[in-house]
């Protein structure tokens, strides 16, 4: 795999109200690389710069919001400080927490076609891309429905389809299910799973639900105080239970279980998903099997 995103020494502070006001640095020297087709999850407490980092990936930070930036973000060979945001939007698409902020057309179909029309894409190609994007998120039957008459999960799937129609190489999801009920969350994560499985997209997702992160991610980055505090596979991150708690983040319940068992029985279990915990604990060398033999 080749590197598709490179964040190098990224510092960023939002504009101050008064010129002589001291800057507050939201990002404080972030270094990060993402491989093509990788699924990277970003975790961190509130206010550590996760959303700001997402916005820096498509040039909205700093081009649209101003502020002070140091360092560089290179996406698919383009520097996001110098490449126009519309050009970057064809390479990296961002999905935000609230789908309503991205929906404003009268039909799902029009919503998905809007970006393509703005770029002057030929009508036949627009139709082809709209149909593909609708099918990719399971929304074909809703193409003539008003986005404002959809459920939360359907709205977010429509927002994802509108981004997919642009055919970006990278999909950035900033807490995409934060405002959704359990059904909506399941819908969105099912779409994400299929995009990864069928289309091999590079996906960067900001998420709090550690079970979902363990299920989907190749790698996890934990931000703390505007910097990368931890980086590794889900196993490498979630086995550090005390440190994750210190940072203020939850780990999967089965990772908590492994940590408790290790402390009580001097074992070295590492679990991130329920099925692997069950198989290990009920297997020939598991605690459950040893207990039944005593």
Q: What is the pLDDT of residue 199?
A: 82
* Cα(227)–Cα(28) distance, integer angstroms: 6
Cβ–Cβ under 8 Å, residues 178 and 97: yes
Q: What is the pLDDT of residue 293?
A: 47
Calculate ∠ Cα 140-142-144, nearest 5°: 110
* Cα(201)–Cα(188) distance, integer angstroms: 15
Each of the 294 residues of the chain gets a pLDDT tens digit; together they read 699 999 999 999 999 888 788 899 999 999 999 999 999 999 999 999 999 999 999 999 999 999 999 999 999 999 999 999 989 988 999 998 887 888 889 999 999 999 899 889 999 999 999 999 999 899 999 999 999 999 999 999 999 999 999 999 999 999 988 888 888 888 888 888 888 888 888 999 999 999 999 999 999 999 999 999 999 999 999 999 999 999 999 999 999 999 999 999 999 999 999 998 888 888 776 665 555 444
| Cα–Cα nearest to 161, from 126, 111, 202 | 111
62 preceded by cis ω (within 30°)?
A: yes
Cβ–Cβ under 8 Å, residues 42 and 224: no
pTM of the predicted protein model: 0.90
Residues in the chain: 294
* Domains (range + CATH), the chain: 1-91+168-234 (3.40.50.300), 101-166 (no CATH), 252-294 (no CATH)
Q: 278 is written with which tokens? A: 């069950």
């Amino acid at each position: 795999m080749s590197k598709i995103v490179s964040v190098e020494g990224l510092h960023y502070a939002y504009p101050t109200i008064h010129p002589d006001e001291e800057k507050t640095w939201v990002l404080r020297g972030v270094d990060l690389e993402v491989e093509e087709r990788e699924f990277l999850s970003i975790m961190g407490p509130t206010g550590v710069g996760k959303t700001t980092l997402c916005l820096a990936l498509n040039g909205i930070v700093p081009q649209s919001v101003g502020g002070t930036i140091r360092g560089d973000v290179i996406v698919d060979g383009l520097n996001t400080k110098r490449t126009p945001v519309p050009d970057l939007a064809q390479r990296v698409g961002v999905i935000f927490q609230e789908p309503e902020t991205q929906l404003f057309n009268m039909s799902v179909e029009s919503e998905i076609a809007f970006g393509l029309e703005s770029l002057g894409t030929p009508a036949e190609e627009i139709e082809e891309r709209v149909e593909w994007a609708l099918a990719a998120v399971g929304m074909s039957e809703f193409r003539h429905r008003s986005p404002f008459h959809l459920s939360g999960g359907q709205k977010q799937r429509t927002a994802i389809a509108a981004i997919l129609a642009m055919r970006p190489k990278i999909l950035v999801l900033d807490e995409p299910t934060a405002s959704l009920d359990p059904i909506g969350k399941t819908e969105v994560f099912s779409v994400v799973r299929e995009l990864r499985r069928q289309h091999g997209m590079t996906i960067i997702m900001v998420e709090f639900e550690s079970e979902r992160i363990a299920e989907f991610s190749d790698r996890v980055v934990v931000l703390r105080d505007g910097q990368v505090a931890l980086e590794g596979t889900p196993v490498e991150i979630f086995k550090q239970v005390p440190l994750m708690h210190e940072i203020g983040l939850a780990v999967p319940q089965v990772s908590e279980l492994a940590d408790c068992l290790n402390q009580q029985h001097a074992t070295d279990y590492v679990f991130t998903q329920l099925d692997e915990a069950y198989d290990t604990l009920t297997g020939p060398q598991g605690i459950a099997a040893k207990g039944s033999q005593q």
